[in-house]
Structure 1
Amino acid sequence: MASACTNATTTVRSVRLFRIDGFSLVSSTMGHDECFKFRWDVDGYEWELHCFPSYFSAVWLKLMFLSDADATCNVRASLGYLLVHPGLDGLSQERRTSDVFKRPNDCTQQVYLVNKVDLPVPSRSSDDHLTVQCTITILKDLPEVPTSVPVPTSNLHLHFGELLRSGTGADVTFLVSGESFLAHKLILAARSPVLMAEFFGHMREASSPNVVIEDMEPAAFKAMLHFLYTDTVPELDHELQAVAPMAQHLLAAADRYGLDRLKVLCEGKLSGGITIDTAATTLALAEQHNCSHLKTKCIEFIISTPAVFDAVVATEGYRHLEASCPSALTSILLSMRGRRY
């Protein structure tokens, strides 16, 4: 069976000659820590070669990294160095050092090039030079090739939202407190079991192009329609204090039309901001529309302390709760049994 090999890296290589004229003279006047510097750009990175001509009677080299490494990876590079000089064939063997560079001024270790006593005495001034062939090799990771074609995120809700906005192909008009809303029976029926029965069952709305909606605010109905088409409720994306009335109306609408997800969204929103002023009315709403989680949250808040309980009992909402949902009062009393304040 044939085998295959895939390269995960590639290399970038650059070669240059660096020459110091009058080497014997200048090297005799330089200290151990003094050096010649040569700038070099390779693959978008800036480098600097340091040549120390009098480092304890020998010539030494060092490579310094001057750029910033990539945010996702460090720079792996090597320096190859070869002395180029007539009559030094025995000494002219390329050597190499490598390192990983992470930040500006990172360096390789100093590397030995040649002992100065091994350099031939120049017979004339034109021969008095030191030439070094240097090679920088950068090892680069190849970008990862995706194993599959990236799939865009779904924008189905955007298309359906535009269909609702434009009204193209609408076959039903809802009349809500003097306002009209165009819609599509098939889409609504697919989302709501109640509307499925109304439009495609034996109810009178099945063939009617107009449907009158009673006991619902136009804004709440519009928000519900938007949810039916897009599965989103932008009206609930603000602080609860600003959207509590809308959340309450939408919860009732969701229960009315069998929209379980919308009902849970509204229940969660209302559960997150129960106050003394809203506790009783929210509890009545939860009792009427069978929202067990919201009901539990309301009762826990009401009986949390005697002061909170007394404050809630004094609200208008509590009097409404007494009149409309006596069963909720029983739940409160049962929850208070055995509680010690």
Structure 2
Amino acid sequence: MKRMMIPAPTVRRFSSAIARNRTSLRCLAESFTATHDFEMPSFPLFDRTGAHRYVRSSRFSVGGHNWVIGFRPNSFNHASANLFCVDPAQDVRARFTFNMLEKDGGASLTNHGAIEHVFSPKSDCRGYFKFVEKSKLEPSAGDSGGHSLTIRCDLTVITKPDVVVNRNKLFLLPQPDLAGHLQQKWKDGQGADVTFSVGGQLFKAHRCLLAAWFLVFKAELFGPMKEKETQCIKIDDIDPEIFEALLHFIYTDSMLVDEHYKESKPAKLHHLQVASDRYGLDRLKVMCESKLSQCIDVETVATTLVLAEQHHCKDLKEACIEFMAPCNVLQAAMATDGFKHLVASCPLVMKELLDMVSRSG
């Protein structure tokens, strides 16, 4: 198998230091596999840029698509790392691992397993929220400014469809699209046998599929009223947009992504998190938790922390507390209305927060 070296991309500068990139690539019939090394300056230099800012690699190409590595402090104890597919026009199936190496590609500071993800225009980023402990990134005693760190990304882009070989004949199998068929039936209303009235809007659905997911509806959907040809269930305590997002997940096993769910507007995610917990959709609940952990900011962190505490989201709660641990962040968060609600409704969480602040001091 031949190895082909791709010239290093354009050098970018961060915090007056130089970040270097190097990619090696090998091609198989059904996939492209590359190892990309993103070398960064000493961690303390860019840790001062703030917990919200990414240090990004230059673009590198694998499997006909452009990729970028993003790294940021993210929380008090950990730094996160994410792989971005740059402007994917269609679904891109990939498998990758990140690991942090010491200077000159030495010993690994991490040992993470592989992540497989389908990158798309609606989901162009995936990675490790707790990638590496910050304590491991500090230079050792006596290191005279030459300390650098390297993120090594092993990336495989899968390009070939499934194949079945039988008696020297080659059969190409189309990709499975059960979710697409179910979504179409939902949109068309074909075979729908139950209707929900939510805030004045009507949503048609299929009771068999709903009962498999919504245990709270199972008795009602298959109880004494099951023989009725038309059944309408009225729900008054949920926003129609949120209920539509619940149905979208039921039919597609994916999260509805639109303008309301961008990082700048986490309020819709808050409502969806509450609804998924109420209806026992644990997978959707974790999806919401993951997205909320990626868009924590000073204005919303207290509100998100209350939500995490009330709905038993341990990882999201930990991320919020670590985010607020630095004194300057805590002071800014204390000026928000959400923090006043946090103090009034979650006194035990306040104790955990104060303990974290005292340790960080």
TM-score (norm 1): 0.52
Which residue among 210, 213, 216 is the counterpart of 2:235? 213
Q: CA separation in 2, counterparts of 1:205 and 1:146?
A: 44
Name the CA distance, whole Å, in 2 between partners of 1:324 and 1:165.
Answer: 41
1:237: Cα distance to partner?
8.6
Q: Using a 3 Å threshold, how does the CA distance of structure 1 residues 168 and 239 change in structure 2: closer, same or farther?
A: closer
Is 2:197–2:234's contact at 8 Å kept on the other side of the alignment?
Answer: yes
Change (3 A) 1:158 1:234: same
The alpha-carbon deviation at position 326 of structure 1 amounts to 2.6
Q: Residues 221-260 of structure 1 correspond to what in structure 2 (within 5 A)? A: 221-235=243-257, 240-260=262-282
Instruction: Please give the per-residue CA displacement for 1:264-311, whole angstroms capped at 9, x wherever unaligned.
Output: 1110000011111010000011111111110000000011x1111111
**Matched-pair contact (CA < 8 Å) for 1:171–1:185:** yes
Bigger radius of gyration among the two: 1
- Post-superposition Cα deviations, 1:110-168, rounded to whole Å, max 9, x if no partner, equal xxxxxxxxxxxxxxxxxxxxxxxxxxxxxxxxxxx963533222111111101110112
The one-letter amino acid of 1:221's match is F
The question of whether the paired residues in 2 share the 8 Å contact of 1:235 and 1:246 is answered with: no
The whole-number CA distance in structure 2 between the counterparts of 1:289 and 1:311 is 25
Aligned positions, number: 197
Report the Cα distance in structure 1 between the residues aligned to 2:217 and 2:310, rounded to whole angstroms.
Answer: 21
Asked if 1:273 is matched to 2:295, the reply is: yes
| 1:200, distance to aligned residue in structure 2 (A) | 3.0
* Partner AA of 1:302 in structure 2: M
Is the CA contact (8 Å cut-off) linking 2:186 and 2:205 kept in structure 1? yes
CA distance in 2 between counterparts of 1:198 and 1:330 reads 43
Identity of aligned residues (%): 43
After TM superposition, the structure 1 = structure 2 runs for residues 165-314 of structure 1, keeping only pairs within 5 Å, are 165-200=187-222, 209-235=231-257, 240-303=262-325, 305-314=326-335
Per-residue deviation at 1:238?
8.3
Q: Distance in 2 between matches of 1:257 and 1:290?
A: 14
Describe the SS at the equivalent of 2:211.
Answer: helix
Q: Could you say if the C-alpha distance between residues 295 and 182 of structure 1 is closer, same or farther in structure 2, counting changes exceeding 3 Å?
A: same
TM alignment of 1:1-341, pairs within 5 A? 147=165, 149-200=171-222, 209-235=231-257, 240-303=262-325, 305-337=326-358, 339-341=359-361
Q: For 1:201 and 1:286, locate their aligned partners in 2 and report how far apart those are by CA, in whole Å.
A: 34
Of 279-288 and 171-180, deviating more is 171-180
SS of match in other structure, 1:235:
coil
Post-superposition CA distance 1:7-39 (Å, at most 9, x none) = xxxxxxxxxxxxxxxxxxxxxxxxxxxxxxxxx
C-alpha deviation, 1:190, in angstroms: 1.2
1:321: how far off? 1.4
Distance 1:259-1:199 versus aligned 2 partners, 3 A rule: same
Q: Confirm or deny: 8 A CA contact 2:327 2:357 kept in the other structure.
A: no
What do the CA deviations read for 1:61-88 (whole angstroms, capped 9, x no partner)?
Answer: xxxxxxxxxx999xxxxxxxxxxxxxxx
Task: Provide the C-alpha distance between the structure 2 equivalents of 1:292 and 1:206, rounded to a whole number of angstroms.
Answer: 43
Instruction: Give the secondary structure class of the aligned counterpart of 1:211.
Output: strand
Q: 1:206 to 1:279 in 2, by over 3 A?
A: farther
Going from structure 1 to structure 2, the CA distance change for 1:209 and 1:326 (only over 3 Å counts) comes to: farther
Question: Match for 2:352: what amino acid?
Answer: S
Structure 2 alignment gaps of length 5 or more: 1-26, 30-162
Aligned residue number for residue 19 of structure 2: none
What's the offset of the Cα at 1:253? 1.0
Change (3 A) 1:340 1:219: closer
2:239 maps to a residue whose letter is E
CA distance in 2, matches of 1:297, 1:205: 45
Change (3 A) 1:206 1:175: farther
**Partner AA of 2:165 in structure 1:** T
Deviation at 1:215, TM superposition (A): 2.1
Letter in 2 for 1:312: A
Q: 1:147 to 1:163 in 2, by over 3 A?
A: same
Task: Calculate the aligned-residue CA RMSD, in Å.
Answer: 2.8
Which secondary structure does the structure 2 equivalent of 1:147 belong to?
strand
